[in-house]
Each structure stands twice: as C-alpha cells, then as structure tokens.
Amino acid sequence: MKTLIQAAVVAMFAASAAQAQQAVQWRVEDGGNGHWYVRVAESRTWSGHAAYAASIGAHLVTLTDAPENAFVHGQFPGRAWLGGFTEENQGCNASAWKWVTGEPWTHAPWAPPEPNYCDETRLEFSGPYPMRWNNYYGAAPNQAIIEWSADCNGDGIVDYGQILDGSLSDVNGDGVPDSCQAPCTPADLNDDGTVDGADLGALLADWGPALDRAVPSDLNMDGVVNGADLGALLATWGPCKVPPSWATVIDWKPDPLVVPDIELRSRIAETGMPWRVRDNGTGIELLLVPPGTFQMGCTMGSDEYECFSWEQPVHPVTLTREFYLGRYEVTQAQWVAAMGSNPSLFRMASAHVPIDRVDDRPVDSVSWHSVHEFLLATGMRLPTEAEWEFACRAGSSHPFYNGSADDGTMRALAWYSPNSSKQTRPVGDKAANALGFHDMLGNVWEWVNDWFAPYPATDQSDPAGPNHAPARVIRGGSFSDGTSNLRSSNRDEGAPALNYGAVGFRVAKDP
C-alpha cells in the first residue's frame, strides 16, 4: 500500500468560541478517498458532536475499511467519538451497529476483550489499543473526529477542500458551497443578498393590483402588492436567511391553489424561507409550516361524535419557530431506499391498488424504534405532537381540516373505514389541507415524537411532551377507523415496539 501522506490546512470552526483546528486530507494520489478529517478538541456528547458536525456540512467519521482506519487513527490517536452507534431495543449483537451515514458496517476492529455490545452505545477509539475501537454510552463528553465527504457539484472533488482553497465560496460557513444552495429569499427583489431599502423601493413601485401572478413584489401571491407584502418584506429585513443546505428548493412561494388562505401565505412569506423543498438525501418532499399559536385539543366534536377525555383540556400552544414537514406519509419506496427492506403488511398490488402504485403506499408495520433508525439514517426527525396538530389543523378550529364538523365530508379527505376496503392506499390521492399536506387524517396512523400522557391545562410554548411514559403518541387515524378517530385533535397511544399494519409516519426537519 502506498505511503499515506496528508495535505493540511488551518480551518476555523464556530463552537462555543472560535477555535483553530487542523484538517487533514487523505489524498487520492496517495491511495486515499479525497475526504477531509479533523479532531474536534471540545468535549461534547456523541449526539452533540453529531449535531455540530451536521451544522458545518460534515458528519462523525465513518471508517469502512482497514486503510481508512489506519490513516485516521494515525493522524488522530487517542480516545474520540466515531460515527458508529446502536439504538434502544436493537439487541446485543454486531448486527445492531450502524454508521451515521448509512454506509455498510464492513469493518469492525474491536478492542480486546470481546466487545460488550449493548443498547444505546456509541463508538470511539479505544485509547490504549492501537487502531482498535470500543463502545461506550454516549452521555459522557468526549472529543470527536469528523469527516467531510460531500461533493454536491459532482466534480469529483470533496467540496470542503474547495471551500478551504477558495475555489468555492461558502459565505454562511455551513460547509456547503453557495453554488449548491438556492438563491436568497423572495423579498430580496434585486438579488443582492440583503433585504433593504432597494427592495423596499422596488416593492413600492409595484404597489397596487398585480394581475400577473409572476410580479416578484407580490410576496403572498394574492394578486395585489399591498401592506401584507410590505409586512413580509420588513419581517425579513437585513441579510438573507440561508435556505436549507440539505434541500433543493422546488417553490419559494406557496402556490395559491394549494395554500388558498392569504394569511397563511403571508405568514410563510414572513419566515424568509422557501415553502416547498425536496430533501437531497431521500427525495422526500417537505412543506414549510410557519410559527403560530393555536388551541390544542378538542375544541369541538363532530356532528356524530363528542370529544374524548384524552383530547382535553384544550390549551393554548405557541410554536415559535418554522419547520418543514413531509407533504405525504413516508412511502414504501422511500423506506426501502433508506433501509433496504420492506416491513409493510400491504406491499402487494390489489384490486384497488395497481402494481405501478404499490411503492406509493405508505410504509406500515413500523415500530417507533424502527422509525428512529430511519431518522438516524436520513437526518430527519419526527414532528412533536403539537407540531403535528398545528400542521394538520392548518388554521382550522373544526374537527376536520376542511373547516367542517360534518362526518360525511371525510370521504373527500381521507381513506378510512367506509371507503378504504380495509387497506392502505397510495399517498396523495385525497384532498390536501390548507397548508398542502395530504393524508394527515386516515390511511395510516402516524408516529410523533412525544410520549403519551394527559395534556397540561396551562399555556405551552414549543412543547415536547413528558420525559417518559409507557407509550408513544400516534395521530390521525387510519384506513380501518371511523370518523371518531379522524379528528385533527384525536390521539392514541402505542408501545414503542409496536408493529401494526395501520401505523406509519411522516418526517419533519428543521431549516
């Protein structure tokens, strides 16, 4: 094997304070992979380092063959977190281990004695054993080794090195070249990277009716440039917010045919973030949910069913930050692409689902634990229960998100007991809610992140639910349920290990 020689540069990392670190490259001409590596000297938990790495376009290092292990261990000897992990209830065996990037677990030089595989452990260099690893619980702060491997522009060179040598710009310092990210917010009417007086002047020049929907100053796309657009512009005043580095922008502005409510479109515009994006890693389409306040819980029963006790008490909830939510439930095709196999009960064609639509059925029979594996593999998260209900209601206080209490209207909105033939159906075939989300009622129950417990009676801000309970929350009802379970406010519970043919999920992600 060729001698491993590194090219070194000094890069600045924003941790709790600016800290100079030495990044090294395993060069292709030296038999390497062209990736860049660095030891982060600041001590954090494993999860803390994983989040920090993601914030600068990197990931905890993954060592998938012996030469890479030898190179990295030679550059950074001693104890440090790596990108290997196991999760709760995955058993004590080698097959439970995974890399954060989803790469195959093909190289495992364990330190003697035999590795103590355990639930919820994390991987680190084992210290006194040369080139060996060991597993420890991830709560203890430790140093870490992180890696840059992305090549978003497809030129065969890892982007990080091109950012370091100045051939690619990265103004916001997120580790992703500016050329690989979407342009600035729509309120930046002159595309100079800042919302300022020049943009204000352009908006005022367009003041009045905007008969052409393409008028850039009509930020909420209501056919007129007026105070609502002025408010959206002023809300994003200053340097532009940076679009998500993990996504490709499909539409900056919400389509009025999908989001018909002017107030909702204005609130989306005020975030300064794109409305509709596609996750680069999974291809999942997500829509922006703006911040807001709503009454959580059963504010009113439907025409046929009264509120249940577990939907009470109604309490005010404020979500202070925008977030992205999957436009559809995660499909079987998306699950298989990330996880390699299909656990679904309803994975065959039927009299109601032709063969070419089977992959569009929601994945079902997934436990909360197995969903968590998908999230770790893809960088997604589950919505909180409050986020889910806020997005489902889409501004409505009625039992159903079409603004009605009439149980008979559900046929247009959901696959449920009267119309589903007791099976899942391809996502997106029923009417969307006012934010553009499909199948939030019916088809499959959806896991959310919260543990199941009675609601508090007091005002809540960004609630995450209780710290622990016997079961997790599922929302939205399914193909096998009647309308009593399909209210926007209704909730049920499931043990985290539950695998059931009527339970799936949708993903969320922060900008």
Give me 91's structure tokens: 């058993």
- Which candidate, 289, 286, 239, places its Cα nearest to that of 265? 289
Determine contact, residues 424/282, Cβ cutoff 8 Å: no
Q: Which residues pair with 472 in a beta bridge?
A: 451, 494
Backbone angles phi, psi at 433, to 5 degrees: -85, -175
Residue 243 per-residue DSSP state: P
The answer to whether residue 348 sits within a structural domain is yes
Determine contact, residues 190/217, Cβ cutoff 8 Å: no
Find the distance separating the first CA and the last CA of the chain, reported in whole Å: 43
Q: How many domains does the chain have?
A: 2
pLDDT at residue 213, as a whole number: 55
pLDDT at residue 19, as a whole number: 32
- Which candidate, 317, 288, 220, 226, places its Cα nearest to that of 260? 220
Report d(CA 223, CA 361) in Å as an integer: 37
Q: H/E element holding 15?
A: none
Tens of each residue's pLDDT in the chain, 511 residues? 222 223 332 233 333 222 335 899 999 999 999 999 999 988 888 888 888 888 788 999 999 999 999 999 999 988 899 999 887 766 666 778 889 988 888 888 877 655 566 777 888 887 667 788 888 877 788 899 999 998 887 788 999 998 888 888 776 567 877 667 555 678 888 877 789 999 999 999 999 998 665 688 888 888 899 999 999 999 889 887 778 888 888 888 888 889 999 999 999 989 989 999 999 899 999 999 999 999 999 999 999 999 999 999 999 999 999 999 999 999 999 999 999 999 999 999 999 999 999 999 999 999 999 999 999 999 999 999 999 999 999 999 999 999 999 999 999 999 999 999 999 999 999 999 999 999 999 999 999 999 999 999 999 999 999 989 999 999 999 999 999 999 999 999 999 999 999 999 999 999 9
User: In this structure, what CATH number is given to the domain that contains residue 33?
Assistant: 3.10.100.10
SS3 label, residue 346: coil
Of 132, 149, 166, the position where a domain reaches its end is 149
435 burial (CB, 10 Å; 0-12 / 13-18 / 19+) is buried
User: In this structure, what CATH number is given to the domain that contains residue 365?
Assistant: 3.90.1580.10
The answer to whether residue 246 sits within a structural domain is no
Give me 438's structure tokens: 């499909």
The answer to whether residue 394 sits within a structural domain is yes
The answer to whether residue 223 sits within a structural domain is no
- Which candidate, 256, 416, 429, 415, places its Cα nearest to that of 328? 429
The neighbour count for residue 27, using CB atoms within 10 Å, is 17
Q: Can you give the residue range of the structural domain that contains 60?
A: 6-149
The answer to whether residue 228 sits within a structural domain is no
Report d(CA 459, CA 510) in Å as an integer: 23
372 burial (CB, 10 Å; 0-12 / 13-18 / 19+) is buried
The answer to whether residue 269 sits within a structural domain is no
Give me 324's structure tokens: 């992205």
Of 149, 173, 197, the position where a domain reaches its end is 149
**DSSP letter string, 252-300:** SSPPTTTS--HHHHHHHHHTTS-SEEEETTT--EEEEE--EEEEES-SS
pLDDT at residue 80, as a whole number: 92
The answer to whether residue 134 sits within a structural domain is yes
pLDDT at residue 117, as a whole number: 64
pLDDT at residue 87, as a whole number: 75
- Please state whether the peptide bond connecting residue 313 to the residue before it is cis, i.e. omega within 30 degrees of 0: yes
pLDDT at residue 385, as a whole number: 98
pTM greater than the 0.85 cutoff: no
Amino acid code (one letter) for 240: C
Q: Which residues pair with 110 in a beta bridge?
A: 133
Of 133, 149, 165, the position where a domain reaches its end is 149
The answer to whether residue 165 sits within a structural domain is no
Q: 238-239 and 194-195: which strand pairing?
A: antiparallel
Determine contact, residues 9/164, Cβ cutoff 8 Å: yes
Q: 445-451 and 503-504: which strand pairing?
A: parallel
Cα dihedral sign, 405-411-415-419: positive
Q: Which residues pair with 251 in a beta bridge?
A: 276
Residue matched to tokens 């577990």: 310
Give me 337's structure tokens: 């692409």
Determine contact, residues 270/236, Cβ cutoff 8 Å: yes
Report d(CA 246, CA 286) in Å as an integer: 12
Residue matched to tokens 């008490």: 313
